[in-house]
Chain A
């Protein structure tokens, strides 16, 4: 097969530029492309606009000073509700912010994928989401009832970073978790979509039922990165649960003098193989229990 989109994580991240707008798939501490995020942390990239249903991806990028502006609806690690490094950055005014309702957020991604400059939506009316964001405008229906809506601007991305359970070299992808979240919308909203995957195949051969786990087309995928345990320490259903021990340690680091630097030295300033060894290896990660909600 002529099409081979495989790249190393470093080669994929090397295609990004400072100042870009990056979408990061997943949701909170769930199915985050953390191997790619760690590669950004190792890189000289800076001044990024990050668009994310935020979890530790956003927290770590805040801690490392990579974010100029955050486009978000929340940042949380669920079982640890308050993300410590996001809070530091938010409270100190270190990052610009553009805050949306969760639904407005996916509406903006959708608009970008549809080639629209905005999509109308009721949500946001009456709230400080509008009052605190001068970029946001309303629009009046041209029809008889004349209703007023929020004109949710397209959230166009220079690049999207996603993590999936399985992919092939052509860019076909499978998401096996119970929820595929909004990764398909990130893929459509982006000029270039980089997908990391637990398992990389030459070419997928699927049953019709399994093929339903393919949520977006391969023409949207620019590169595929083989990254086993690449969502760690977040939850990748059904392969492994979130690593609460690690997340607690990361969370605690924010309260220590030089805590991020220590975390960074131990878990970021090493290659991915060493990272996996330090967090207990693929075997331990594979045994991390799936969260029970």
Chain B
């Protein structure tokens, strides 16, 4: 059996974000989040709703990539206009990979640099304003570093966070629900003691061989340590078997630079 990869460890960590969410639409955007959501549905949270990533609800997660004989098990219909109904109704938990994240949990997918003359145009805000305001959100960061976790606010606030300066009287903020950030170094959460004071983000677990100091050094704002800060669990053989079945073309191997193993020496991963 080949070595367990960091991508596989992150898939298992990602799957945990959907535990005990109830009957919500689990949307994992990108290979690691999608495999995480699929693993969640096939293990601890069968009540989750998922789509075929096009327009139909499926009773079991669809394997990623070209399919030989697999036929999706359709159970319903969810074209984009109904996805918005779902988003606005709050029955969804999405995991996406933003370009920038700040200490309030605000995210950016639009432009890096000046808004009028950006250094780099990415995609646009896409659905981040609605997602972040209306339902549960988690994030994936395959390259944990200070260019992603920025010092001040993100350059263009696309997704909202727990930033009181961005909201005025009469604007409801109680539906904002940021959960976790899965990175290649650690798992972060938003469970700091007062999440609206710009210090909500905590290191919840460290991947094997990673120190808190290393994570802090790769983050341009101060992080808290969760009490009893633990090591991110390694995937079990059963989880690995499910992941392999869901990703028959091994697309997960191309998600992180050089596809590192889950067990790394601390000296080998300086950010």
Residue B271 at the A interface, CB < 8 A? Answer: no
Q: Which of B78-86, B223-231, B254-262 contacts A (4 or more CB under 8 A)?
A: B78-86
Q: Is the CB of B133 within 8 A of A125?
A: yes
Q: Which of B226-243 contact A (CB under 8 A)?
A: none
Q: Is the CB of B81 within 8 A of A122?
A: no
Q: Is the CB of A101 within 8 A of B130?
A: yes
Task: Encode B44-63 as 1/0 by CB contact (under 8 A) with A.
Answer: 00000000111110000010
Q: Is the CB of B123 within 8 A of A101?
A: no
Q: Is the CB of A293 within 8 A of B53?
A: yes
Q: Is the CB of A103 within 8 A of B110?
A: no
Q: Is the CB of B123 within 8 A of A91?
A: no
Q: Is the CB of B123 within 8 A of A74?
A: yes
Q: Tell me which of B67, B80, B121 contacts A87 (CB under 8 A).
A: B121
Q: Is the CB of A75 within 8 A of B65?
A: no
Q: Is the CB of A100 within 8 A of B125?
A: yes
Q: Is the CB of B127 within 8 A of A103?
A: yes
Residue A102 at the B interface, CB < 8 A? Answer: yes
Residue B14 at the A interface, CB < 8 A? Answer: no
Residue A99 at the B interface, CB < 8 A? Answer: yes
Residue A129 at the B interface, CB < 8 A? Answer: yes
Q: Which of A6-14, A41-49, A173-181, A198-206 contacts B (4 or more CB under 8 A)?
A: A173-181
Chain B residues with CB below 8 A from A180, complex form: 79
Q: Tell me which of A73, A82, A126 contacts B127 (CB under 8 A).
A: A73
Q: Is the CB of A140 within 8 A of B170?
A: yes
Known contacts A74-B126, A106-B84; A179 and B55 CB within 8 A of each other: yes
Known contacts A103-B84, A103-B87, A178-B54; A126 and B125 CB within 8 A of each other: no
Known contacts A73-B124, A103-B88, A126-B163; A146 and B170 CB within 8 A of each other: yes
Q: Which of B153-161, B179-187, B208-216 contacts A (4 or more CB under 8 A)?
A: B153-161
Residue A86 at the B interface, CB < 8 A? Answer: yes
Chain B residues with CB below 8 A from A27, complex form: 80
Chain A residues with CB below 8 A from B125, complex form: 73-74, 99-101, 127-129
Q: Is the CB of A132 within 8 A of B115?
A: yes
Nearest A residue to B65, CB-CB: A292
Tell me, rounded to whole Å, the shortest Cβ–Cβ distance linking B136 to chain A: 16
Q: Is the CB of B133 within 8 A of A122?
A: yes
Residue A124 at the B interface, CB < 8 A? Answer: yes
Residue A104 at the B interface, CB < 8 A? Answer: yes
Task: Encode B94-130 as 1/0 by CB contact (under 8 A) with A.
Answer: 0000000000000000110001111111111111111
Q: Is the CB of B134 within 8 A of A122?
A: yes
Residue A123 at the B interface, CB < 8 A? Answer: yes
Cα A45 to Cα B116 with chains together (Å) = 25
Cα A25 to Cα B167 with chains together (Å) = 34
Cα A74 to Cα B126 with chains together (Å) = 5
Residue A90 at the B interface, CB < 8 A? Answer: yes
Chain A residues with CB below 8 A from B168, complex form: 148
Tell me, rounded to whole Å, the shortest Cβ–Cβ distance linking B79 to chain A: 4
Q: Is the CB of B127 within 8 A of A125?
A: no
7 contacts between A and B (CB under 8 A): A75-B124, A93-B116, A101-B125, A103-B130, A106-B81, A127-B157, A128-B115
